[in-house]
Every structure is written in structure tokens, then in C-alpha cells.
Amino acid sequence: MNRIWIAFAGLALSACVTINIYFPAAAAEKAADKIIDEVWQTQQTDKPAAKEAK
């Protein structure tokens, strides 16, 4: 019986972890740069490293 409770506690804890997905700041920055490039029609001359697939 004790084991079941521990298992439930583990499940509840992992559910918290998966629901509170953090904001992907780096991905958001990359997405912002991509959109800004397209809106302003600029090439990233100052950051050539970021000029890849996405």
C-alpha cells in the first residue's frame, strides 16, 4: 500500500514538471530575429553565425 502512495507522489510530481513548461527564451529570440529580418529586409551582417536553417 505504501508503495502505491509513493508511486502516486512520483506521478503527481512529474505531472507538475511537464505542465509548467518554461518559456523557451533562446528559441523565441531566434524566431524574433528571423521575423525581424523578413520585416525589415535586413541580412544579419553583424551576426553571420545565426544565418542558418531557422
Is-contact 1 25, C-beta < 8 A?
no
Q: How far is the CB of 12 from other proteins (least distance, A)?
A: 11
The site for other proteins (CB under 8 A) is made up of: 3, 6-7, 10-11, 14, 17-18, 21-36, 38-42, 54
Query: Measured from the CB of residue 50, what is the shortest distance to other proteins in angstroms?
Result: 11
Q: CA separation (Å) from 41 to 30, 31, 45, 50, 52?
A: 16, 15, 12, 16, 16
Nearer to other proteins, 21 or 49 (CB): 21
